[in-house]
Amino acid sequence: MRRFFWSLPVLLLALSCEELKEPLPAAPEPPPPPSFSHFQIVGHWEATSNQGRRIAFDVTSDGQVANGRINLHHDCLTGRWRATFDGFQVEIVDDGFITSFNWQSVEDGVTRVGTTTVSGRFEGDRLVKGGFVSSVNDVREGGEPTGDSCASLDGSYEGTRE
């Protein structure tokens, strides 16, 4: 029994020392995620392609390309077909963007179906350069193939913030 009383002060001393220790430091905050761009690019952008056609879009404060519009033309066996595609939207990552979309156009009873990819890279506060690839995969009239064929195209563009 004497042995038990002798160890009691040591046990109490050990418990009180633990209570006197300072708390561990808090973990550092994680670094903030990188910004979508190193440049000040929010606003409306206008560009001209190597086809001489207009490309336009807005850059939002949350890093999105919105209200995208691209005008282009395909050279087909039956002549030049001009198209406008409205409404593309995509997230900007590391000063750039890329988006692909399938489309269908019905004009004068002729249905064309294809795919377009648009990309861009912001090279400064007021300069964007990019490219596009587009193909017409099917041309039909009244549900029947027309035999028309359109060459795939790839182009480039350069533009500025308004």
Q: Which DSSP helix (H) or strand (E) runs through 75?
A: strand 64-76
Residue 16's pLDDT is what?
A: 53
pLDDT attached to residue 18: 58
Residue 4 domain-assigned?
no
Answer whether residue 31 is part of any domain: no
In a domain, 25, yes or no: no
Q: 17 — phi, psi (to 5°)?
A: -65, -40
Question: What pLDDT, on the 0 to 100 scale, is given for residue 6?
Answer: 47
pLDDT digits (tens, 9 = 90+) for 137-153: 999 999 999 999 999 99
Whether 63 shows a pLDDT value over 50: the answer reads yes
DSSP state of 69: E
Q: Is residue 5 part of a domain?
A: no
Query: What is residue 121's predicted lDDT score, i.e. its pLDDT?
Result: 98
Instruction: State pLDDT tens for residues 114-126.
Output: 999 999 999 999 9
Domain count of the fold of the chain: 1
The two tokens of residue 127 are 């300069």
Residue 47 carries which side chain, given as an amino acid letter? Answer: A
Domain housing 80: 43-161
Query: Among 145, 156, 143, 153, which residue's Cα sits nearest to residue 76?
Result: 153
Whether the per-residue pLDDT at 1 is higher than 80: the answer is: no
Of all residues in the chain, the percent with pLDDT exceeding 70 is 86
Question: Residue 102 domain-assigned?
Answer: yes
Q: Is residue 32 part of a domain?
A: no
| 61 found inside a domain | yes
* 9 belongs to a structural domain: no
What is the CATH number for 133? 2.40.128
